[in-house]
Amino acid sequence: VVSSADELANAIIDLPSLLISISDPLPDTSPELPMHALNKLADSLCLQFADIQAEEHQDSWQDILMPYEKTPEQVMMTRDHAKKLWSFITKKREPVPDVIVVQDQGDRRAVAVAYAVCDMLGLKRSQAIYKLGDENWRALPSEKPANLHVWETAKRGRGLVV
């Protein structure tokens, strides 16, 4: 399931679930879980990285990026984020979660992470990914997500966790 924080607040899911919450790395903020109605939440992970790609900042790579007050390199998804993601997903739990919810702030990150998870677990995107608030949306098998950096970094992270 892919969701924004606003959509997740009203979505009732009564299956054992994992929640991956992605938020911006704003100064003086700590990651917090969004409001949710995941009645059988088994575990959660909060990650903070911006919805940016290197290509979007080629001419401003060394510049301070507002509102983050850091350079693009300092706020992008990193190998460490990807390793945390896969350590979280592959952790043994009882009962085994039926649903993974990936929540962002209504941008490109959640879809990119969901695509990477499906691709690395051998799941058919069109059958495995549901986008809250857009019942007609379908993930296509050959479609690349809008944020290629997050997708590629998340996929590479699978090899960091055994």
Mean residue pLDDT across the chain: 95
CA 119 to CA 115: how far, in whole Å? 6
pLDDT the model gives residue 126: 94
Residues 111-131, mean pLDDT to the nearest whole number: 97
> What digits encode the pLDDT tens for the residues 33-68?
999 999 999 999 999 999 999 999 999 999 999 999
Over 90: is that where the pLDDT of 137 sits? Answer: yes
The sign of the dihedral angle between the CA atoms of 101, 48, 116, 154 is negative
DSSP per-residue codes, 29-75 = ----PPP-EETTEEEEEEEE--S--GGGGGGGTTSPBTTTTB-HHHH
The DSSP letter of residue 145 is P
pLDDT the model gives residue 149: 97
Q: How confident is the model at residue 162 (pLDDT cuts 50, 70, 90)?
A: confident
% of the chain at pLDDT higher than 70: 100
User: What SS3 state is found at 16?
Assistant: coil
> What digits encode the pLDDT tens for the residues 75-107?
999 999 999 999 999 999 999 999 999 999 999
Q: What is the pTM of this model?
A: 0.95
